[in-house]
Structure 1
């Protein structure tokens, strides 16, 4: 797998003005505090020795044809968009790719099985349009499907249905052909894969291997975009296979009007911070900014949320009619393209719908912040430095849309946010600090402590003297493992960062393993305070309330599983009596049920009483609507035991420790 090329940061610096130049330069060269000690777990606060952060590959940026043109594309259409891309100044703003989506191919192959195209629509073949894109200093992208038939066969949009428009059975052949044509990016859709019931992880593993082989053969890096719409939970298995993976369905269907509702839904579904790191990115789909239907304020919110989450920025508007300067705000683009590569997370929601998102940026003490008002009236929203992992000392605040420094504030900043609107800031203060740990054995860090169950930033020091990135598998307690990439460092040491969920207490273990990991140093662990939650541990089973396989689908039944502190086990008990997981999903008595055996599931938080729970003094948890207790079904204690509602009876399978 070959990572995406980062944007030309010098272009961003030129356009941002002197203040932002200094800020970006700081982000690119600042250091992460990390102390190297002898083997054995350390317990001292992070101190003076500093190790430079490695710049990881940033999320792909550019333009894609689908949202505005669907299948109605040809050489002329793409050439016009390329010319408009350059004329609009998107290149200077850091955008790199022009991606040709579905519709370019009607499923024909020659006697050797190689793809053929209509040269009336594509004079000179696909290599000619790739060459034209390259002539403008841009990178070229193309599209196929993981199945035998592509999306145009199942959902014809602008062209008659065409069979055999997928790459199944031709993965190696097609990826090599795309690379030989000169393409730098390939989006692989899931219409055929879904219809055929393919296993997504297995399928995309084969495609990723074909991409790597093609790139090694031609010497041209080929960026893979996994587009299986969040089916089968790609955040669990896609890191290491591709730089980006879709987390939800299409944000807008061709011919439909863009909506803020869809935009917010896709944003919520893309928040999987433990999967996004070191050049691997959750993809909530192409941008609608600049398309008819959204207001200027909604465009800004759309862009701000994609940037705070570090999402790929692939515009979908008709560039020949572009008026969306929102795409070119270099302060906002720089947040998205931050070289630390982490995802922003919700750090506060004091009142329902008034949300604060924070993103840890490169350097020390730097945070991007979005204040999001999901209510129907203008409201004041406060961001507290303590919620961001900063100390209570003063911090400076910059308005990123206005590109204006607002001054220094002691412990927090409050501002009015319009109904349905947002404010985007950069906050620069003092890190609250963390704790260093040396490996107890090769690649294993034991007795890692957390004051509360929740997310922590882990900076991993390493040395990689190779000319290419090395990878290792990170396992945190019993959570789903993830692949971490370590870029070359030369002979020096650098750090990369990941977000991990830890359980309250000192019993956490982080293990980095693999066939060729880099030389590892210490790790520094720093909490993100207001991502804190609690484990709900059953007294009888000793296991925790869990959402299987990190699934986010409404209606997924909660279950018992070995306690591991992952995000799917971290429950926040709010002042509204909700038990919230993933920041957006509430523990819910299914369908307002009030009878014994009613399933206990996750669902989008909606404020109804079937999503409210009373934590009782006798350690039971009672549903407010039903008056029934949270129960491990049939008093079972094994992994996978379903959680239900049942008449409160004092049994230990209804007793829970909230920690």
Structure 2
């Protein structure tokens, strides 16, 4: 396995955990009589059977510092040594940060006759082993950088140094990973400039790199944490889990030579939410942080930390640490915010409510019974009162303790909900602890589970009880409903008694769901709990019986809507807001009439939600869905019924290819 267990010296070990709960509310907007939803009684009232509640801590998201944001390619031994010394002096090590990652610029593409990397020892006295040794001498871990292609980013985008041909690892994957490991490096980031220019296939290329990392670890005995950095190209959340500890989900948070902005932060955060991919030590990566850099206020820096923490992102500071102020240090080292990011359950927070546009509530399921983290994100230009409801988080309306993580005080002991004043353009971060979980369903089984019930389509938390009485994690494949994109799941050692890991899955409404594991250790059972704030609906064509779908979990603006077999994946679960008349997928993308078109054949796509009338839809009692701007019907083009049939706008004609049910 490419990503080692990242235990922190200051962290607690495995937490006894919860059986996380969810209440279920049906999200039926309208349905044809023949498509009425199955009763939700199984999910709500299932009798529990014996499964363990012992949560097994998974490897946390990496924390540390990386050189690129502050120094670009202008790095050498002295620059890194100064940053290490400042890192230690600031107390970042004690706060849980542990990596010093040397990004692009350390190597200019030179190799010896045997193909081994060589460096300029005037810049790196003693070679790269010497700087790795210095980092280790401070009780820290060392990271290094390369590219998947033959020529790396320093060739295609020289920044601070001349173009450097040959500065990638293509053709030398195992040789380079072994050399990095022998030098003493613990982490390697593999960029994609050469891979992109050469049109390499992302999935197969990074699989080869992951295999090379595993081979290097077997050779040297030193694990390397692999960071995949192809900027979200080819939807890595579909295939990167199991290849490395983290994968980039978007382009750089800012381009060197520019100034970071809070808008950059929000964009990176929005593109990073892929909850079914993040689990068991595998993390979506929105990029290095810009906390403390020019361009953000103190309040925006705190909000930046909130967003990375609620999404469980890697925390890699990027500022020049020799300029670290007390204010920035206190932001980076807030122990309660870090604890949310590093929660041993390893899940990602998601948007659970947006009653008013741009007033967004995010919730994260934490270890321990009845515990949640919450971010109230105010994207408007005025201070707003914002409310989090227990019911959206999967808690009952019972008393829980609310804590503000920046004032570090308990602010309420209450049930039902909590309201806070949130300044314009920033956020408030809370924990809600000691709540009562809503009901759950428990299923016994050793590998596969059928008849799994859901009261509504949408995201669920699944605790998986298993025994792994070995010294190493076991990697398995999780498949939901047969045709959703599978994901790799890691089962850490449990000792001789069972333990739990948690994953997020997306289910259809009813009791026809299946959850299966291939290659897993012996399973005891699963506990399935809904997250009501993510309840939604499938939009099913009356003629085709297939669902409104976004191909391959793609999030890019302008991606066409299509028909596909209904499987309940996140790319098929839509939330319809009857007030705003929006159909929203992934929590932040709206169904959109492309270019505000009003003619037959106008493409129907997804786009960032803007509130424009071309993103407003009337769901009608006759089964049609009409675009408010165009007055035309949502139509399966050409009355086709096959997978990949594109959806368009067309004049309403009463045919079945224009009729839909939402269940």
TM (norm. structure 2) is 0.94
| Residues 4 and 60, structure 1, Cα contact 8 Å, conserved in 2 | no
User: Could you give the per-residue CA deviations for residues 361-401 of structure 1, whole angstroms, max 9, x where no partner exists?
Assistant: 01110100000000111100000111110111111001111
Asked if 1:521 is matched to 2:524, the reply is yes
Q: How far apart are 1:59 and its partner, in Å? A: 0.4
2:438 to 432, 457, 465: 432
Residue in 1 that maps onto 2:17:
31
How has the CA–CA distance of structure 1 residues 413 and 28 changed in structure 2, closer, same or farther, with 3 Å as cutoff?
A: farther
- How far apart, CA to CA, are the structure 2 residues paired with 1:90 and 1:334? 14
Give the 5 Å matches for 1:566-605. Answer: 566-574=569-577, 575-605=579-609
Tell me, yes or no, if the aligned pair for 1:186 and 1:223 is still in contact at 8 Å. yes
Provide the C-alpha distance between the structure 2 equivalents of 1:566 and 1:640, rounded to a whole number of angstroms.
16
Of residues 120, 125, 129, the one that matches 1:123 is: 125
Rounded to whole Å, the distance in 2 between the matches of 1:196 and 1:47 is 54
Shift of 1:443: 1.1
CA-CA distance at 1:8 after TM superposition: 2.0
Q: CA deviation at 1:472?
A: 1.1
Counterpart of 2:395 in structure 1 is 390
The 3 A distance-change label for structure 1 pair 501 and 34 is closer
Partner of 1:171: 173
| Residue in structure 2 matching 1:640, options 623, 639, 644 | 644
Compute the displacement of 1:34 (Å): 9.5
**Quick one: structure 1 residues 446 and 257, their matched pair in 2 at CA, closer, same or farther if it must change by over 3 Å?**
same
For 1:91, the equivalent position in structure 2 comes to 93
In 1, Cα distance between equivalents of 2:151 and 2:5: 30
Moved more, 125-134 or 44-53: 44-53
* In structure 2, distance between residues paired with 1:496 and 1:490: 14
Aligned-pair distance for 1:605?
0.3
Structure 2 partner of 1:38: none
Point out where structure 1 has 5 or more consecutive residues left out of the alignment: 13-24, 36-40
Distance 2:364 2:439 in 1: 16
Count how many residue pairs are aligned between Structure 1 and Structure 2: 636
Q: What residue in structure 2 maps to residue 334 of structure 1?
A: 339
- Rounded Cα–Cα distance in structure 2 between residues aligned with 1:34 and 1:184: 34
Match of 1:20 in 2: none
Q: Deviations over 1:582-626 (max 9, x none)?
A: 011000000010111100000000000000000011100000001
CA contact under 8 A between 1:4 and 1:58: conserved in structure 2? no
Question: What CA distance in whole angstroms lies between the structure 1 residues aligned with 2:324 and 2:246?
Answer: 26
1:376 alignment partner, one of 362, 370, 381: 381
> Distance between the aligned counterparts of 1:4 and 1:264, measured in 2?
30
Alpha-carbon distance in 1 for matches of 2:581, 2:102: 48
Cα distance, 1:7 vs structure 2: 4.4
Query: Deviations along 1:317-350, whole A, 9 cap, x unmatched?
Result: 1000112121000000010000000000000000
Deviations 1:89-144 (A, max 9, x none): 00000001000000000000000000000000000000000000000000000000
Query: 1:430 Cα deviation (Å)?
Result: 1.1
Match of 1:401 in 2: 406
* Aligned counterparts of 1:136 and 1:452: Cα–Cα separation in 2: 51
1:189 aligns with 2:191: yes
Contact 1:33 1:49 in 2 (8 A): no
Aligned-residue offset at 1:559: 0.2
Q: 1:45 Cα shift?
A: 4.2
The more displaced of 477-486 and 403-412 is 403-412
Paired with 2:489 and 2:94, the residues of 1 have a C-alpha distance of: 31
Change (3 A) 1:172 1:264: same
After superposition, the CA RMSD in angstroms is 1.4
TM-fit CA distance, 1:216: 1.0
Question: How many Å separate the matches in 1 of 2:529 and 2:557?
Answer: 32
Q: 1:293 Cα deviation (Å)?
A: 1.2
Q: Hey, what does 1:453 align to over in structure 2?
A: 457
Say if 1:7 and 1:96, in contact at 8 Å, map to a contact too. no
1:512 Cα offset (Å)? 0.6
Aligned to 2:479: 475
CA apart distance, 1:83? 0.2
Partners of 2:491 and 2:501 within 8 A in 1: yes
Superposition deviation, residue 47 in structure 1: 7.0
Pick one of 493, 512, 517 that aligns with 1:512.
Answer: 517
Q: Is contact 1:59-1:310 (8 Å) kept?
A: yes
Q: Give the C-alpha shift of residue 444 in structure 1.
A: 1.2
Decide whether aligned partners of structure 1 residues 603 and 249 sit closer, same or farther in structure 2, where only a CA change above 3 A counts: same
> What does the per-residue CA deviation read over 1:285-318, in whole Å, with 9 as the maximum and x for residues that have no partner?
0000011110000001100000000000000010
Structure 1 residue aligned with 2:558: 555
Distance in 2 of aligned mates of 1:643 and 1:63: 46
Contact 1:34 1:46 in 2 (8 A): no
| SS at structure 1 position matched to 2:133 | helix
- Per the alignment, residue 345 of structure 1 pairs with 350
> Would you say the 8 A contact 2:7–2:59 is kept in 1?
no
- Following superposition, the deviation at residue 535 of structure 1 comes to 0.3
- Rounded to whole Å, the distance in 2 between the matches of 1:483 and 1:519 is 16
Partner of 2:121, secondary structure, is coil
Equivalences for residues 133-532 of structure 1 within 5 A: 133-323=135-325, 324=328, 325-428=330-433, 429-439=435-445, 442-477=446-481, 478-514=483-519, 517-532=520-535
For each residue in 1:448-489, what CA deviation from the matched residue of structure 2 results, as whole angstroms up to 9, or x when unmatched?
010111100000000001100001111001210001100001
C-alpha deviation, 1:653, in angstroms:
0.3
SS at match of 2:206: helix
- Counterpart CA distance in 1 for 2:488 and 2:146 is 25
SS at match of 2:643: coil
2:548 — aligned with what? Answer: 545
Rounded to whole Å, the distance in 2 between the matches of 1:430 and 1:62 is 35
Given that residues 52 and 498 in structure 2 are in contact (C-alpha distance below 8 angstroms), is that contact kept between their aligned partners in structure 1? no
Deviation at 1:30, TM superposition (A): 2.2
Decide whether the 8 Å contact of 1:32 with 1:495 is kept in 2. no
- Return the offset for 1:411: 0.9
Distance 2:463 2:524 in 1: 10
Taking the aligned partners of 2:372 and 2:188, their CA distance within structure 1 comes to 32
Higher relative CO (Cα under 8 Å, sequence separation at least 6) belongs to: 2
| Residues 164-186 of structure 1, C-alpha deviations (whole Å, 9 max, x = no match) | 00000000100000000000000
